[in-house]
Structure 1
Amino acid sequence: MSFVGRVGRIVLVLVAALALPATVAVVDTRAAFAGSYTAPPPAPSPLPAPPAHDPTRRTAVVVASTQGAAVSDALGAYEALAATGAFNVYLAAPDRHPLPLTGGLDVLPDLSFADVDQRLGGAAPDLVVVPAVPDAATPTSRPVEEWVARQWGRSLVVSICNGAGVLASAGLLDGHRATAHWTRIDSWQQAFPAVDWQRGQRWIDDGALISTAGVLSGIDGTLHAIDRLLGPAAAARAAVALHWTPRPVVQEQHTWSPADAIVALNAGFRWDPPRIGVLLTDGVSESALAAVFDTYGAQVLATRTVALGAEVAQVVRSRHGLVLLTRGTVADTAVDRLLVPGGVVPRINGGPAPELVPARGTDPFDAVLHDVAAHVDVPTARWVARAMEYPDADLEFTGPGWPVGLVARPFLLAAVGVGLVAAVGGLRRARAKVSA
């Protein structure tokens, strides 16, 4: 065989080894990430009444796009603000219809943007929080950009995670210092070079704007905004209400590492991910909900979450009155585990034994990260902590290590690909001999 022929055969073997696992990984990864946001159920009829407005209180608005918002970004800020008792806190969107949050939690916005404007009589809210939205810097997020732009300079604005992309797309961050999630800040810098993007900081106070890094740094940025508007005592009380330990402003700047291969393995090769039911109960803490739906539903990429009611599909009210929508009941939905975020475990019929997570009086994100380590594996828990920017230096996880069977799957697929090519080649040679 000639040299060119040998090189061609080697290339063919390499392509065969990579093609099958790569194709499987791409298809499964797309499905895994698509599962972070799924179409919400229909709006309840009639719509639940929006919360009452107290004109003696300040007003804070957490925005969402027509496509939804990141669950921890939105609900962490929502609960921190509501816990002060000093704000009318509204989750607002372009229209008042059900929206998906990451991980499969569906909410009904308290108000539309037009409703907010009407309630305030043209005045601006005291505080506007912009969480990450799935359509940041795209045409469908324009209504959010336009509404926030009208408040710019009149309201204190907090961007959380990739909510900074919404503001940058609107041109509001030009000339300002800002930060965003460590996995996206480089792409935002390329897209919006007029912004002074900063790394290695949990939040940045640039006057009219407080921007935060990834996900849970949004709680710290919101607490700083509370400090500015109400004082340090109010911020401290809000942190206690969330069982949250405020973190330093300066933090490690995360970068991709070899250990992050667990993300590709989970997304691309977990072919039968466990389904976790999340039981919604009246009075549930917003941050406890976020802890379960963001980890197991959005970040782990090896599990799926579904919001369930105890006996009938229903509307549930969170601790501070946010309208939550279930997608079924425990009795009629097959799940592998049933988690109950915070609160009390109600009596239910059927399904797996309910598991309270977290226990009362504990940081829900800490508790759920340990649950991930125990029920999935420690590398996944460490990835989730980094992805959510939960400082994990002091977390001592207990659970399985690297999943050997999962690691082997792409190599087995590669071997199958090479075997198929070899079989086809052998068949062609056999046919050639017969023809000769």
Structure 2
Amino acid sequence: MKKLVVRLAVYVLIFAVFVGGVGYLGFVRSDNDFFKNVRHEPVPSLHGVKPPKYDPNKPTVAVLLANVDTEVFDFMIPYDLLSRTNAFNVFAVAPDKNVKTLSGGLDVVPHYSYKELDKLLGKSPDIIVVPYMPIYDEKKYQPTREWIQQHSSSKTTILSICSGSENLADAGLLKGKSATTHWQGISLLSKQYPDTHWKEDVRYVHEGNILTSAGQTAGIDAVLYLIAQKLGEPMSKKISNEISYPSYHFVQNPKVEPIQKDIYFVTFLLNLSFKWNKTKAGVLLYNDMDEIALSSIFDTYAATGTTKVLTVSNSDAPIATKNHLNIVARHQISNAPRLDKMIIPGGNAKSLAAADVKLWSEKGNAKETLLIHSDSPNRYAFEEPLEDLAKQEDLLTAKHAVKRFEYRANGIHLEGKPFPLETYDNVLLIGLLALLVTFFIVQLKKASHGPADHNSN
């Protein structure tokens, strides 16, 4: 009996190692596609690229970029919303002026290095926005940590978006304070930083000069709350209306029911680990494009583990967005690889990108071209991509994306397959292969014992 139990344990271990090993490799690949998708293509000439004009009479906002990676939503959304007020100098700031990569593979040219901004202002910025910046490389991240610490006096308002609160905790700024973060990571941060009171039932927490937000769209609440604090609620509501934000009531009252992990989260993990044939989607970059619309593509598709997003433009010259952020595509229309779909974001894309769309229709190579926001320019920018994700993939994948965004409105209608058949098929396939491997090992072991040894048992 004891030998039987040992054998079963060994077989289960072999099965788990085989399935787990394959899943781990898939997970690492997906993680690299999203969070470590660094640029390998040559950087074009940045000659003539200039930061927005500095107005010494306006407060200054520094939106941080790390050396290795910065979460795309956490960076783009506050940059866009604060720029829309026209009341701040809003700059993208990094350890140096080299091109930085946002999650999913969007390349950004910083306006200033930390040292350059310090020299320009002669003091700390009035507001520092801290997106989630994964600390993969301690040496490369150290300049960002030190700069945050050096500019954390009570005179500066520090706003973290989503898991950017981890960066604040890492810098020692949340000791003894209340804070919040993305629901998927709050239990881990509670263990890593037990001297912080982590709150699960609010969209944002404001304590002293530090404002932390929960996941994704809760960051919009926090930014709008900050705008209301600095410029008054009429301005905050104006910006909310401009982006058709459906949940302004959370700005006024951030209390919510905590989000729990469920089958949607399991599907998300399985997609990351076992979705091998990823949809290849291009996103067309063009001048004066909307930052929120652009962010909606990367965070909706690329973050699910189902889609690899590639940036494409009509030339290798940097693109200037609506609010003077300089971004660089990795492919040009003339040399873009074959795509499953080309996504053209922005409610005004038909007019702003007319020449680029025409050029793509003539020379591009995609099964489908989707002007995703053009038919409903007055909808909140993330709603249509989430609906399209359900059609492209399945309902479970899209529903997790909705939860990941902490989207709590009722403006989305999802239609699609009930579950990710390909992902589940791959899991079953690997499971069957694991059983075959286990059976093969058992037979080898029996053969190695020989007939006599086998009969003695």
TM superposition score normalised by structure 2 = 0.89
Tell me if structure 2 keeps the 8 A contact 1:17–1:417: yes
Moved more, 80-89 or 264-273: 264-273
Deviation >4 Å, runs of 4+: 136-139, 427-431, 433-436
Q: Distance in 2 between matches of 1:377 and 1:194?
A: 40
Partner residue in 2 for 1:44: 44
Tell me if structure 2 keeps the 8 A contact 1:75–1:290: yes
Deviations along 1:120-141, one digit per CA (max 9) or x if unpaired, are 1x23322111111111894533
Indicate how the Cα distance of structure 1 residues 136 and 162 shifts in structure 2: closer, same or farther if over 3 A, else same.
farther
Partner residue in 2 for 1:144: 144
Gaps of 5+ in 1: none
Q: Does 1:406 align with 2:407?
A: no
Q: Map residues 205-354 of structure 1 onto 2, 5 A cutoff.
A: 205-245=206-246, 246-248=248-250, 249-297=254-302, 299-310=303-314, 312-332=315-335, 333-342=337-346, 343-344=349-350, 345=353, 346-347=357-358, 348=360, 349-352=363-366, 353-354=368-369
Partner residue in 1 for 2:371: 356
Partner residue in 2 for 1:9: 7
Q: Does 1:172 align with 2:173?
A: yes
Q: Does 1:375 align with 2:403?
A: no
Partner residue in 2 for 1:422: 439
Q: Does 1:183 align with 2:184?
A: yes
Q: Distance in 2 between matches of 1:433 and 1:239?
A: 78
Task: State the SS of the aligned residue for 1:107.
Answer: strand
Indicate how the Cα distance of structure 1 residues 148 and 17 shifts in structure 2: closer, same or farther if over 3 A, else same.
closer
Letter in 2 for 1:8: V
Q: Does 1:32 align with 2:30?
A: yes
Indicate how the Cα distance of structure 1 residues 331 and 421 shifts in structure 2: closer, same or farther if over 3 A, else same.
same
Tell me if structure 2 keeps the 8 A contact 1:42–1:98: no
**Superposition RMSD on alpha carbons, in Å?**
2.2
Tell me if structure 1 keeps the 8 A contact 2:275–2:422: no
Aligned-residue offset at 1:189: 2.2
Task: State the SS of the aligned residue for 1:239.
Answer: helix
Aligned-residue offset at 1:54: 1.6
Deviations along 1:37-60, one digit per CA (max 9) or x if unpaired, are 312244432441222212232211
Q: Distance in 2 between matches of 1:11 and 1:18?
A: 10
Moved more, 251-260 or 391-400: 391-400
Tell me if structure 2 keeps the 8 A contact 1:382–1:392: no
Deviations along 1:393-423, one digit per CA (max 9) or x if unpaired, are 6633111111334323323322222223323
Q: Distance in 1 between matches of 2:274 and 2:159?
A: 37
Task: State the SS of the aligned residue for 1:157.
Answer: strand
Deviations along 1:144-197, one digit per CA (max 9) or x if unpaired, are 222222332111111111211222122222222211111222222222222222
Aligned-residue offset at 1:370: 0.8
Tell me if structure 1 keeps the 8 A contact 2:275–2:426: no
Q: Distance in 1 between matches of 2:138 and 2:174?
A: 16
Deviations along 1:200-233, one digit per CA (max 9) or x if unpaired, are 1001111311110112211110111111111111
Tell me if structure 2 keeps the 8 A contact 1:278–1:306: yes
Task: State the SS of the aligned residue for 2:408.
Answer: coil
Tell me if structure 1 keeps the 8 A contact 2:394–2:416: yes
Q: Distance in 1 between matches of 2:422 and 2:78?
A: 39
Task: State the SS of the aligned residue for 1:186.
Answer: helix
Equivalent pairs, count = 431
Of all paired residues, the percent bearing the same amino acid is: 26
Q: Distance in 2 between matches of 1:230 and 1:18?
A: 56
Q: Distance in 1 between matches of 2:59 and 2:227?
A: 11
Letter in 2 for 1:21: V
Letter in 1 for 2:211: I
Tell me if structure 1 keeps the 8 A contact 2:394–2:417: yes
Indicate how the Cα distance of structure 1 residues 214 and 154 shifts in structure 2: closer, same or farther if over 3 A, else same.
same
Task: State the SS of the aligned residue for 2:8.
Answer: helix
Letter in 2 for 1:254: I
Partner residue in 2 for 1:366: 383
Aligned-residue offset at 1:354: 2.2
Indicate how the Cα distance of structure 1 residues 247 and 379 shifts in structure 2: closer, same or farther if over 3 A, else same.
farther
Identify which of 408, 411, 418 aligns with 1:391.
408
Partner residue in 1 for 2:132: 132
Task: State the SS of the aligned residue for 2:128.
Answer: strand
Aligned-residue offset at 1:117: 1.4
Q: Distance in 1 between matches of 2:273 and 2:136?
A: 25
